[in-house]
Each structure stands twice: as structure tokens, then as C-alpha cells.
Structure 1
Amino acid sequence: MSLRISWNELFPTKWSVVIFIAYMVLFINQGILVTASQSSTSTYSYNTVTVVLLTEVVKLVVSVSIYCKDNAVSSLLHETKLHIRVMLLYFVPAFLYCLYNNLAFINLSAFDPTTYYLLLQFRVVVTGIAFQVLFKKKLSGKQWLSLVLLTVGCMMKETDMSSDKKNSLTSTSTPTASQAGFHFSFNALLIVIQTVCSSFAGVYNEYLLKADGADVNVFVQNVFMYVDSIICNGGILLVQGQLYSAFTWEALSSVFTFKVMIIMFNNAAIGIITSFFLKNLNSILKTFASALELMFTAVLCRLIFGIPIYVNTVIAISIVSYAVILYSQNPVVNQSQKEDKQTEEEEDLLDVSSA
């Protein structure tokens, strides 16, 4: 079997590689930064919902600023009025991302970053199915095999293959959730909910970028997303009865610290780069980026937090690496409707010229 990698199809533009790497780096940073901001009891000294909401505000300010650099504010208002339906549609991924971002803080307090990213890989199959349903593009056998191998590789990370691992877990009488890895508990249920939110939000967001919102400026779409997200997070605070208390001076003073501000700006950068990722690449490749994040996170967590790396981690890296190579031979190429129409017109011209 040929192992030739279709680099031109995998990364169609010169910026694709930059976007891919930036996406991975930012996500790896997020897990480590959130863990570093926890107390010794794995709790937070700040309101995490407020942090998520303020992060969306930062994303909104950045998107509006970039758009208004080349366009008038009146143009943004006109685009909003013209594409109000698209803005309403963005409430779906905005709500899902809202749940995802808030659950990230909860789950990172229960699991170490490596285990957390491992468990998120169960979204692989969900993403593949959602991709087929929304875009009506059937994945090939090789693409499905690569997705299955990726899932197996990630599951291998938690397979106990070392007596040292057993000793490390039995050295304490009451291992924490992050030490014990995956177990069927309330935290496991929250992980499942987070993976479903991530899968459907990512694919539906790509659908809006390339279908219903194909003719809408990407920064205008970002504005739609972040306005909707702010409303959704405000709704969560309202339901919790914390809409007022979350914005008192005492509450905000715990948010505006160096560690938390870094988390906010890093997460804001993730939101911006994700829109470019989905616009230029696709949700399947996004899933592989997430899997590679797991491997780099394992190494960094070993260096920063002293979390050990076992034989099963090395095996998982090997399986996932092969899955990436297998997928790269036949990547999903998903153009926007505008690009599809252009391609069809070019094919028609070729048919006429050859006739």
C-alpha cells in the first residue's frame, strides 16, 4: 500500500499549515493553563461562567475591530439586518459551544489534561456521522478505518500495561478522578455531553460557514456567533441566580488576574482560529488535530506537572500517527457552495471545449 501523503489536498492553501499548527498550540495551552489556575483541591477561585462570557466579549471586540478596519460600522449593521436568519441559526452552535466551554472547566477539575483530551476523542465517530448527515458526503472505507484506528489509539492510552502504573495508583488510599482515568460516573457523563456538543457544534458551524452563510463575511459570522454566545452564557448565569453577583467588584477582581486573563485571551484566540480552520479545512481534520494535541499534552504534562508517561502512551502515539498518515492519503475535501458552483462551471467549460 502506498504511503504517499496528499499534502495539496490535506492543506489546500499556504496558510492551512499555519492555521493547523496554531489551532493545536492554542488548545494544548488551554488545558495546561486551566489546570495551572486550579487550587490544590482542584477548584477555581473565580467564576468560570463569567470567564467564558468575558472571553466571548473579547472575541466579539476582536472580530468587530478587524471587520471595521476595512468596513464602516454601518456596513456591519447592514450585514446583520440582511443576514438576520444566519445570525439566528448561529444560536445552535453558540449554545453547544457555550456548554462545551463551561464543561471544560468542570471536567479539567476532575481529570488531568492528558486524560481529559483522551476522553474527548470519543467524538471522532460522532463527528464522522454528523459530517455525513449535514454535508451528504459519504466517507470512504479508508477514511472510516483511519477514524476507528484513531479512536483505538486514544483508548489504548488508558489500557493498563505497566505494573508501575498500578503501583502509582495504589500508592495512595483514595486516588482522585484525574488519577483513576475514565470511570463511569457523573464526570464521565459530563465528558460524553461535552464530546457531543463539540462534535455537533463543529460540524454545524462548518455547515453555516460553507452553506447558509457562504456569502457572509467570516468576521460578520464570528460577530453572530459571539453575540449569541454572550446571550447563552448570560442565560446560564441567570438560571444559576448569579447574573448580578458574577459582576460585582469582588467577583471581577478574582477574574482580572494574570493567570485567568491568559486563559481568557488564549481561549479567545482559539475561537478566532477555529473559524479560519473550519473555513479553510474541515471538521474531520480538526478531529485529527485534537488527537495530536493529546500526544503533545502528555509530554508537556510530564514536564510541567510530573504526570508520568507509560508504555501504553507510546503505543497510542504510534497508532494515532499511522491513522493520521492513512487519512492524509485520502482526506475529506469539503468546499463551500460558492466553490462547488465555481468548480461545476469550470467542469462545464472543459466539457464544452473538449466537445
Structure 2
Amino acid sequence: MQREKSADIEMGGLATYVVLQMANILKYTSLLFIVIQTTTLVLLLRYSRTQAVQGPRYLSSSAVVCAEFLKIITCVAVLLWNNGFSVPALVLQLRNEVWRQPFETSKMLVPAGLYTIQNNLLFYALSLLDAATYQVTYQLKILTTAMFSVWMLKRRISKQQWFSLVLLIVGVALVQMPTGKSPETDLKQGPYQFLGLLAVLASCLSSGFSGIYLEKLLKEITWSLWIRNIQLAIFGFLLGIVAMLVSDWNQLLVGGFFQGYNAITWMVILLQTFGGLVVSLAVRYADSILKGFATSISIVLSTLCSYYLLGDLLPTRTTNSFVVCPLQLLDLCNMLQSSFAPEEQASVYMHSISLLALQCHSGRHPLDTASHESCTWNNTVDDNVYIC
């Protein structure tokens, strides 16, 4: 009898061990997916908007419309699978949860409209900014999300967390400084970089407000992931068509909807469509800390690829600083360690190194400034991931 109990205990322990190992595999696989999706999307989008083309370049507004349409198809296909491939059951679910609840469905109009604006701004910003600068600057959405969460959800944020957000602003400001190239080059690129910066800032405001608005909405109404995204994608698709007709009517008349499309364009659209789905599913197995690591690693990879593949970043100092700067930054981050839990300290380090890597690779040494302002933190507010 005792032997049987011991065997049961051993089997239970083995099963627990297997489950934990599978959880770890899923966690780090999720990390890999997030890094690949984020880095590839930004770099390919940047390349698609700057590569030399014969004839007209593809319309970014039409790409947004295509992505929203594919999101609808994807979500409907998943719902069909959930309903056992029964078309009548699918139609009944859509009728009951979408069509027969017009007031509740209409509440998704606001975030869908903001996401549509945000997606169009993404294309515009990456037409003017290199991928690494865009990714670092876009981290200001952490600040806007924190501000809207305090205003709309009445959340409390500690002084240390606000201080980290201020450091985030300073770090982003350092990225916008002249690269040390010739004055003529800086003067020529200045207006374009300013417009790109404005586009990113507007996108950050949109991201912060829409994320908190949607979070508040979902606390009041319980919807499935796929119904929610169908509602968002339908409104995004319709609003995207309106935006395309208003902004690109003349180009549509001349070249048509699919003008300038090539393999790279379709890859960007597919990454936008399915990338958000992959990330939203991946975050289920990971956590916000792991997502912070993934974002930081993606920024570092984008910096390296922007320099070595796209030629966007041109260093003006020796590359030795790229190796030395992260080591120096570890000392600068010591002052923040006492403010965070051990797992949060890791996120501080990773975000700081990513910012510093961009600074060093663009020829700007962070210690040229008087204060120690390179640390950021990405765990202040949960960053909800949606397909749209």
C-alpha cells in the first residue's frame, strides 16, 4: 500500500515537472515570437516605405484597409472552428452577440477609430524615421497609458514610478538630438524627423487613450476575444475605407487600390494582421515582465539591423563605445534598484540598455549629458494587446 502511494506521489511529481517544463517552453517561445514579430514588422515597414520603386509607391491607407479585412476573415474563421465548423451556429452567434446588440457594438467605434488613425500614423512615421528611433520614441505610450489610467481608472502610481516615467521622457529626448553628422545633413533631415516625431507622439496619445478606454469598457461587458476583435476590425475596416477615400482619392483614380503592391507590401500586411494575434496569444503564456524584455530586445535588434541592413544609423565615434556604454549604464541604474522588485529591476536594465544601444550606435555617448537619465521602466501599466 505504501509502495503504491509512493508511486502515485512520484507520478504526480513527474506530471508537475512536465507541466512546469512545458510552461517554461511556452513562455520563452512566446518571447521569441514577440521579438521576431515586433522587429520584423518595423524593419519591413520601414524598408517598404523607403526602398526605390518603379512607378507609384503603395498607398499606406489601402494597406491598413487590407489588414483590417484580413483580421475580420481570421476572427470569423476561428469562430467557425470554435462552433465545430457549423455555419448556422456561427451565424447565430454573430447575430446574437454583434448584430442584435447595436448599442454595445457601437461602443467599439471609438477605439476602432483610434486604432485606424494609429495604424496610418505608423506608416507615416516609419516613412520619416529610422526603425530604431521610432521604436524608442514609441515607448512614450507607457507614459500616456499611465496618465490615462490615473485619469480614467483612478489608479495610483508611486513616486518612484513617476520618476521612471520622467526618465523615459529624457531618454526619448536624447534620441532626438542631432547625430553628429554634418550640419547640412542635420538641417536637411530636421523637418522630416520633426514630422515623424509628431506622428509618433499622436500615435502614443491614441494608444494610451484607446487602451484604457477599451480596458474600462471590457470591465463593464464580458465579450470573447474573437467577438471583440471582429467588432473592432469591422469598424476599423469601414473607417479605413473612409480615410483612404478622403486622403488618397486622386491616387486611387490614377493607379487603383493595389498600386505599388509587391511581396514586401503583402508581408507587412500579413505581419500587421497576424502579428497582433500571435502577440495576444503569446502574452497568455508570458507576463508583462517578459513582454518588457521582448520589447527591449526588439529595440536593440532594430538598432543593429537599421545600421547594418538599412544604413539608417551612421556612428560618428568608435564602435568600442557600443560595448562600453551598457556596462557604464549598469552603474547608472543602481540608484533605481531599491525602488522596484527584483523582477522589475531586470526590466529596468533591459530598457536602459536598449536606449543606450541606440544612443551609442548613432554616435551619441550618454555620459555627454550632465545627468544620469537613460533608465526606463515598462511595468507601470499593463499594455493590453489586441489584434487591431
Q: Return the match for 2:211 from 202, 206, 219.
A: 202
Map 1:18-37; keep pairs closer than 5 Å.
18-19=29-30, 21-37=32-48
Indicate if the aligned counterparts of 1:48 and 1:105 stay in contact, CA closer than 8 A: yes
Taking structure 2 as the reference length, what is the TM-score of the superposition?
Answer: 0.66
Residues 191/316 of structure 1: CA separation in 2 closer, same or farther (3 Å cut) = farther
Distance (whole Å) between structure 2 residues aligned to residue 97 and residue 109 of structure 1: 19
Question: Are 1:264 and 2:264 an aligned pair?
Answer: no
Secondary structure, aligned partner of 2:128: coil
Question: What amino acid is the match of 1:203?
Answer: I
Map 1:139-150; keep pairs closer than 5 Å.
139-150=157-168
Deviation at 1:304, TM superposition (A): 1.3
Deviation readout 1:265-288 (Å, 9 max, x if unpaired): 001123324555788889998777
Structure 1 gaps of 5+ residues are 1-12, 337-355
Indicate if the aligned counterparts of 1:206 and 1:278 stay in contact, CA closer than 8 A: no
Distance (whole Å) between structure 2 residues aligned to residue 124 and residue 68 of structure 1: 36
Indicate if the aligned counterparts of 2:128 and 2:192 stay in contact, CA closer than 8 A: no
Larger Rg: 2
Distance (whole Å) between structure 2 residues aligned to residue 101 and residue 154 of structure 1: 21
Deviation at 1:173, TM superposition (A): 5.0
Which residue of structure 2 lines up, in the alignment, with residue 58 of structure 1?
Answer: 70
Map 1:1-355; keep pairs closer than 5 Å.
18-19=29-30, 21-39=32-50, 45-71=57-83, 72-73=89-90, 74-159=92-177, 165-166=179-180, 168-170=181-183, 173=185, 176-177=188-189, 180=190, 185-209=194-218, 211-213=219-221, 215-240=222-247, 242=249, 246=252, 250-252=256-258, 254-255=260-261, 257-273=262-278, 275-276=280-281, 290=295, 292-306=297-311, 307-308=313-314, 311=321, 315=325, 318=329, 326=340, 328-329=343-344
Give the number of equivalent residue pairs.
Answer: 311
Deviation readout 1:202-260 (Å, 9 max, x if unpaired): 23233334x133x21111101001001001101112323629x64988542532x2110
Deviation readout 1:110-129 (Å, 9 max, x if unpaired): 11111222222333321111
Deviation readout 1:153-199 (Å, 9 max, x if unpaired): 33343456xxxx52x344x657653xx5996x444333321221122
Which residue of structure 2 lines up, in the alignment, with residue 344 of structure 1?
Answer: none
Q: Identity across aligned pairs (percent)?
A: 19
Judge which range, 109-118 or 294-303, deviates more.
Answer: 294-303
Residues 282/49 of structure 1: CA separation in 2 closer, same or farther (3 Å cut) = farther
Deviation at 1:27, TM superposition (A): 2.1
For the aligned residue pairs, the C-alpha RMSD in angstroms reads 4.0
Residues 173/292 of structure 1: CA separation in 2 closer, same or farther (3 Å cut) = closer
Distance (whole Å) between structure 1 residues aligned to residue 28 and residue 167 of structure 2: 23
Residues 208/292 of structure 1: CA separation in 2 closer, same or farther (3 Å cut) = farther
Question: What amino acid is the match of 1:34?
Answer: L
Distance (whole Å) between structure 2 residues aligned to residue 285 and residue 207 of structure 1: 24
Question: What amino acid is the match of 1:224?
Answer: Q
Deviation readout 1:262-312 (Å, 9 max, x if unpaired): 000001123324555788889998777655533331122122123245758
Residues 136/50 of structure 1: CA separation in 2 closer, same or farther (3 Å cut) = same
Deviation at 1:90, TM superposition (A): 1.2
Residues 241/41 of structure 1: CA separation in 2 closer, same or farther (3 Å cut) = closer
Greater relative contact order: 1 or 2 (C-alpha under 8 angstroms, separation 6 or more)?
1
Indicate if the aligned counterparts of 2:68 and 2:273 stay in contact, CA closer than 8 A: yes
Residues 155/312 of structure 1: CA separation in 2 closer, same or farther (3 Å cut) = farther
Distance (whole Å) between structure 1 residues aligned to residue 30 and residue 114 of structure 2: 23
Residues 207/146 of structure 1: CA separation in 2 closer, same or farther (3 Å cut) = same
Judge which range, 75-84 or 88-97, deviates more.
Answer: 75-84
Which residue of structure 1 lines up, in the alignment, with residue 375 of structure 2?
Answer: none
